[in-house]
């Protein structure tokens, strides 16, 4: 092993808004004190219950990815496992997500964008 995953960082215009969106999805603590990072106006973190950390970095004039547009590709996405795909879809839409793709014929996954435009998938357990 060469490295240990410390966190995944998402660029966005509003670090508080996006950290709260993911907190509503995953639970956890926004801006939990952690000696690895200095928190401020341009940086926020979300420590999830499973130990995974998402970080949010403010970028002036943030240009979100566009789903299936090679000029502004997704760059990465997060898969989130859910028990009830329909209920989870309703919940994320109510939080401000946007449905990008209704998924496969079997109905095992759907693709959304968070409020800053980053794609993420809900995947049936």
> Domains of the chain: which residue ranges?
8-58, 78-124
Sign of the alpha-carbon dihedral angle for 85, 86, 87, 89: positive
* CATH classification number, 8-58, choose in 3.40.1350, 1.10.3470, 3.40.50, 3.30.720: 3.30.720
Q: Show the DSSP H helices in the chain as ranges.
A: 15-26, 85-95
- CA dist 82 to 23, 40, 104, 121, 123, Å? 15, 32, 16, 10, 6
Residue of 119, 122, 117 whose CA lies nearest to 17: 117
Helix, strand, or coil here: 38?
coil
* CATH classification number, 78-124, choose in 3.60.20.10, 3.30.1490.20, 3.10.180.10, 3.40.225.10: 3.10.180.10
pLDDT, one tens digit for every residue, the chain (125 residues)? 766 778 899 999 999 999 999 999 999 999 998 888 778 889 999 999 888 899 999 999 998 888 888 888 877 788 888 999 999 999 999 999 999 999 887 888 899 999 999 999 899 87
């Amino acid at each position: 092993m060469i490295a240990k995953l410390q966190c995944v960082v998402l660029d966005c215009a509003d670090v508080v808004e996006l950290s709260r969106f993911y907190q509503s999805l995953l639970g956890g603590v926004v801006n939990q004190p952690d000696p690895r990072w200095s928190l401020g106006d341009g940086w926020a973190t979300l420590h999830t219950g499973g130990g995974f950390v998402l970080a949010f970095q403010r970028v002036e004039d943030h240009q979100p990815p566009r789903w299936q547009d090679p000029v502004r590709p997704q760059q990465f996405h997060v898969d989130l496992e859910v028990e009830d795909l329909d209920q989870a879809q309703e919940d994320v839409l109510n939080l401000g997500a946007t449905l990008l793709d209704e998924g496969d014929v079997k109905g095992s996954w759907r693709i959304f964008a968070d409020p800053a435009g980053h794609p993420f998938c809900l995947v049936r357990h």
